[in-house]
Amino acid sequence: MAEKIELQKVEVWDGNYAASHALRQAQVDVVAAYPITPSTPIVENYGQFVADGYIDGEFVMVESEHAAMSGCVGAAASGGRVATATSSQGFALMVEVLYQASGMRLPIVLNVVNRALASPLNVRGDHSDMYLGRDSGWIQMDAFNAQEAYDMNLCAFRVGEHMDIRLPVMVHQDGFITSHTAQNVNPLSDEEAYKFVGVYNPVEEMLDFSRPVTYGAQTEEDWHYEHKARQHKALMDARPVIESVFAEFQKVSGRQYKRVETYMTEDAEVIIVALGTTVESARVAAKQLREEEGIKAGVVAPRVLRPFPFDAIRDALQNCKAIGAMDRSSPGGALGMLFNEVSAAMYTTSARPVMSNYIYGLGGRDLSINAIKDIYRELQENATAGEITTPVQQFISLRGPKLSFFETRRS
């Protein structure tokens, strides 16, 4: 039995350290991993826990991220708890196996410490890798700070391993801003955390030879569609499971999470929808603007990106007048993902608030509170005019001439 660690009531951890403690407390059976900035410390910290006798599972350092996820798939099919971590290019290299993991319905937890995708090569945080994973069939949960990186990891095991779901789960945090910034974190004790996560429940395991299983079969046009449809159903069915896991987590931790987090949205006329650390910046900006300029600003943030919280997003936004969807990923010739998906949700309402799209922070470009305030002021103009007053998509905090795209024909 692995040694326990007596944690303080409040620890000073960065997001990476918080995530690695959560993996340790979940008593993961196999971690197969390959280090990459900025997620490397998760793997390093875990390796130190192994070296110090705090882990009794296997720690397999493989030769690439593709192999890391391949090893995780082989391990997960063998009936135990599995987790790993990656970022950016490593995530991109894993993509083939991400689809295979979800297609085989294996509840692996993958920490994705968000970072830009080359080229140009960049180690800083943006959401390119998170967006790349959004059709991979994984549940995606987003942590906005170190505390949440810890909490979401514990919840991720419960959600993915739930007997009605059995799907892999990504836990996202922003590279460097969350992963390398030390903050106060309130952990559960080792006993409480493991009690919450629970004993792993094997399903269709390769090491039960009384009932041989075949993993990764071939299906063509006769059965492939049915498999993918059921996989999508499992993702959609995860919504109430996530809510019940969050409710249970609140009982043990006192911290409340929802599939969509809202801030000052009750009477808000203008709302920013964002992910990651931007959520906390936007909350600061919204509060200040309410006090300083009387703008009724609010913030809506998907805690769960997949399954996309279509219903909860709509509920959170239906009474506002103008929405700014902020995408921290190069949109590649289209509108940003958040813009498109939030717009789809809002199109099903009778009010249909004015939607606009802000691209920002690529490659770790800083986003200031003032820049967010400018967005709110533009949103306020849209709200007052009842129509969009700018091009639909704008790149903000960009060097050189202003860049904007997609004109509206609304008026």
Partner 1 sequence: MAITSVKNLKEFSTANERFEGAHLLCPGCAHSMIVRELMNCSDDNLVIAANTGCLEVSTAVYPYTAWDTSWIHIGFENAATAASGAEAMYKARKRKGTLKNPDAPVKFVAFGGDGSTYDIGFQWLNGAVERGHDFTYICLDNEVYANTGGQRSSSTPIGSSSTTAPAGRVSYGEKQNKKDMMSIMAASGAKYVAQVSPNKWKNMAQVFQKSLATEGPCYINAISACCTEWKFDPKDTIHISDLATDSLVFPLYEIVDGHELNINYRPKNIIPVRDYLGSQGRFKHLFKPQFEHVLNEWQTRVDAQWDYLQRREAARV
Would you tell me which residues interact with partner 1 (CB under 8 A)? Answer: 29-30, 32, 56-58, 60-64, 66-67, 70-80, 82, 96-97, 100, 200, 202, 205-210, 212-219, 223, 227
Instruction: Select 96 or 311, whichever has its Cβ closest to partner 1.
Output: 96
Instruction: Select 224 or 352, whichever has its Cβ closest to partner 1.
Output: 224
Which H helix or E strand runs over 260? strand 260-263
Instruction: Select 8 or 214, whichever has its Cβ closest to partner 1.
Output: 214
The least CB distance from residue 167 to partner 1, in Å, is 17
Instruction: Select 98 or 234, whichever has its Cβ closest to partner 1.
Output: 98
Strands 354-359 and 183-185: unpaired
Instruction: Select 78 or 288, whichever has its Cβ closest to partner 1.
Output: 78
| Size (the chain), residues | 411
The least CB distance from residue 74 to partner 1, in Å, is 3
The least CB distance from residue 293 to partner 1, in Å, is 55
The least CB distance from residue 127 to partner 1, in Å, is 26
The least CB distance from residue 228 to partner 1, in Å, is 13
Q: How far is CA 45 from the centre of its chain?
A: 21
Instruction: Select 73 or 113, whichever has its Cβ closest to partner 1.
Output: 73
The whole-angstrom separation of Cα 152 and Cα 158 is: 10
The least CB distance from residue 220 to partner 1, in Å, is 8
Assess contact for 241 and 162: CB atoms under 8 A. Answer: yes
Question: What residues contact residue 267 under an 8 Å CB cut-off, 6+ apart?
Answer: 296
The least CB distance from residue 210 to partner 1, in Å, is 7
Structure tokens, 312: 């909860």
Instruction: Select 31 or 383, whichever has its Cβ closest to partner 1.
Output: 31
The least CB distance from residue 271 to partner 1, in Å, is 42
Question: What residues contact residue 5 under an 8 Å CB cut-off, 6+ apart?
Answer: 21, 24, 54, 190
DSSP state for residue 6 in the 8-state scheme: -
Question: Burial of 407 by CB count in 10 Å (0-12 exposed, 13-18 middle, 19+ buried)?
Answer: exposed
Going by C-alpha positions, the residue among 173, 250, 130 that lies closest to residue 19 is 173
Going by C-alpha positions, the residue among 295, 3, 326, 20 that lies closest to residue 154 is 20
The whole-angstrom separation of Cα 365 and Cα 28 is: 35
The whole-angstrom separation of Cα 178 and Cα 280 is: 11
Instruction: Select 60 or 284, whichever has its Cβ closest to partner 1.
Output: 60
Instruction: Select 56 or 293, whichever has its Cβ closest to partner 1.
Output: 56
Which H helix or E strand runs over 356? strand 354-359
Q: Which amino acid is at 85?
A: A
Instruction: Select 208 or 248, whichever has its Cβ closest to partner 1.
Output: 208
The least CB distance from residue 2 to partner 1, in Å, is 9
Residue 362: CB atoms within 10 A of its CB come to 21
The whole-angstrom separation of Cα 401 and Cα 288 is: 29
For 97-123, give the DSSP string: HHHHHHHTT--EEEEEEE---SSS---
The least CB distance from residue 369 to partner 1, in Å, is 45
The whole-angstrom separation of Cα 19 and Cα 152 is: 9
